[in-house]
Amino acid sequence: MQLKSFLTAAAATVVANSVTAVAADLPAIEIVGNKFFYSNNGSQFYMRGVAYQSDTANVTGGATIDDPLANVEACKRDIPYLQQLNTNVVRIYAVNTSLDHSDCMSALNDAGIYVIADLSAPKESINRKSPTWTLDLFDRYKSVVDMFAEYSNVLGFFAGNEVSNDKTNTQASAFVKAAIRDTKQYIKDKKYRTIPVGYSSNDDEDTRVSMADYFACGDSDEKADFYGINM
């Protein structure tokens, strides 16, 4: 995943107590202009990211995807490898909101790793062939926000992944933009901290520039806060 000129860097501060070393909560990441910054000291944050999922199915394809944040044993097993890669962000393509994620989120925090979570899931996403933005789908998005808003190491949410993937289905992007707008408003209404909401696109030669322009246009309450490109 390459983020269009919004990329950013990080080392977590480790706080030692008398028995063991425990990481403090990572500072939230904020967007100012078109860059990410640490909220505690204003220094710029550069992503060094890994797509972290147990399979590679496309969320919009309807296949089942395991939730890596709900498997604490695998999470703790993998973190040392992520650290060897100097990773400071992982992207999670789908989460199961009926499961507990606290142990893995805590372990990632302690390792200095932030999370970008997709709001959609298999069979709970905007369908490019027949796009709609429904109350049921919005409830799914809200449930993910509610589950993860408390974690300071949640860097942001993706409101869609390659929903429009060529020039024949660009109309589906209007529904993703509605999802971005409503999710951002929901975060405000719930008085959560300001968590960025973005979109992840494919790299189609016919649409790459116009898609980026479309998601970047409009008022701040409706445009994507950040824009990813799957290369």
Cα(145)–Cα(183) distance, integer angstroms: 8
Q: Give the pLDDT of residue 66.
A: 82
Q: Is the pLDDT of residue 190 over 70?
A: yes
pTM of the model: 0.86
Question: Over the stretch 99-144, which tens digit does the pLDDT of each residue have?
Answer: 999 999 999 999 999 999 999 998 899 999 999 999 999 999 999 9
Looking at the chain, the whole-number percentage of residues with pLDDT higher than 70 is: 85
